[in-house]
Structure 1
Amino acid sequence: MSQTAPIRSHRKPRRSASKMAFRAGVAGGVLSTIAVAGAAAPANAEPLTETTLEMPTLGSLQADLASAVSASAEASQQEALDQSLAAQENAALQKAAKDAKKAKAEADRKAEAEKAEKAEKARAEARAEANERASRTAARTSLAAKSSSSSSSSDSSAGSSSDSQVATGSAAAIVAFARAQVGDAYVRGGTGPNSWDCSGLVQAAYRAAGIDLPRVSGDQSSRGTSVSLSNLQPGDLLYWGSRSGSYHVAIYVGGGKYVGAQNPSTGVVERSLDWDTPSGAVRIL
């Protein structure tokens, strides 16, 4: 602190003369009013009694304090209880959401399992149906082969003409298989057992006799030896178009007829050569 700085006085400041005069005047006025009122009062008036204010005792203060502390404690306890209930409710909601999510996942898993089971069942039924149809086809083929062999024997003994020729041996198996598929659907690229295209049917028929042919018609008609349409035998392969570039093939079954997968509107049919005369024929047997 600077040595020249003024030192603040610790004495109470003196009241100004004007304030003291004002207060003296007020006090004098009050005393005068009291004196006049006393003089004007009747002689027999009862003397004024002194009124005292009852101050709260220490005991009442302690009671009030205890009451306030108790109320604060109850409020704190209620707040703690509310918070505990809120926490329990939040925990219950979280558990319910978790349980719902788990239940949904389990339901989805069961649904997927049921879907997979149904799909597998459908595939199994389809395989069983295909196997059953293949068994029926094999049975018809065997029966037709036996019937053809029997008819061939009787026709040979009777000296039948070439138009009434019936297949024997491998040719009988080819013809029987082809005729067993009559009525099946035509599907481009079909290779059986219930739908075929022309070359798919020819390939499967020759396979029934143990002979492997290419898949497409042009390659099939390029095999074997060319024969005239007037010298056909059951089991010969008929083609439409050029031999190496044929667009349709079928199987000659004897009696001036052939079996082929014609088109989507007719499916597999047996027709006379006159219905759609082929371009040529080859003998593969």
Structure 2
Amino acid sequence: MSLTSFFQHHVIKGKDIYVVDDHHKALAAWALVRRSLAEPPNLITIDHHTDTSEAFRGHAHWETHEGHVKDREVFRLGLVARIDWHSNKSIADAIANLRHDEHIDAAACSCVLDNAFCIQLSDSCATPSIEEIAFRNSRQENWPNGATVATPTRPMTYVPASNRIYALPFDCFIGCSTMPHNDECNVRHSDEIIETMYLDDQLARGAEISRCFGLSSLEAAPYILDIDLDAFHSRRAINPRDPSTFHRLIRNAVAITIATEAECVDEEWLDEEDSMSSSDLLKELLGHIER
């Protein structure tokens, strides 16, 4: 059984590029990359969503609802335990049962990936720091008088996550002082998704997390660069003024996976006067990789 049916394979200047229509099919490409390396690579993913759901959660819920299994969690964990990155059939079977946002957890649980870092637009708090957790707990315990610990400021400290998946937090677009944030903020923020100043900020936040388990930066170990096209909400977003950090991430990745996710691209698109399809975005992104 071959895994090539799950992706389109491109080689650009010696680098393997794997394009999938549904993001969970990237597991096939990640497994192939894993087989070429002595140790599992990390993942740096750029996405609208966090994609941090537990593997097979949706399938296990449906099987339990239909009465086919009694214990949903035991069934789910059994499916996770069956993933063998050496076996094409095992990977294909896993893909058949994965749902939206479950692929990273499946890859981390099966040692296809080591750590995963999600640069994303849907969760501003993302993986909470030790300081943020202490502040929230203090505020809840002392309501309505307020927290007894100081409001957290960067740099933050973190506890290693049991699933090794970290969604990177964000404030808004770089330099935003608007409170509360509004629709214009969302547009400007999404426009910056691969601008150097924004990615540098995200990578610095990621380094605060990675240092908690001895990794000096997100680029200090071999990584796959994964890009979901629904992270781009406008033509401006896919054409940054300064792509130098993005291009560095491309150059230094051991491989690149791209999820086209056509329906999600349409749903998340913000510029009604200048629409782009996922195929248009793919062409632009492959141009970045070529450059």
Q: Aligning the two structures, in what range does the TM-score lie when normalised by the shorter sequence?
A: under 0.3
Structure with the bigger percentage of helix: 1
TM-score for the superposition, normalised by structure 1: 0.22
Larger radius of gyration: 1
TM-score for the superposition, normalised by structure 2: 0.22
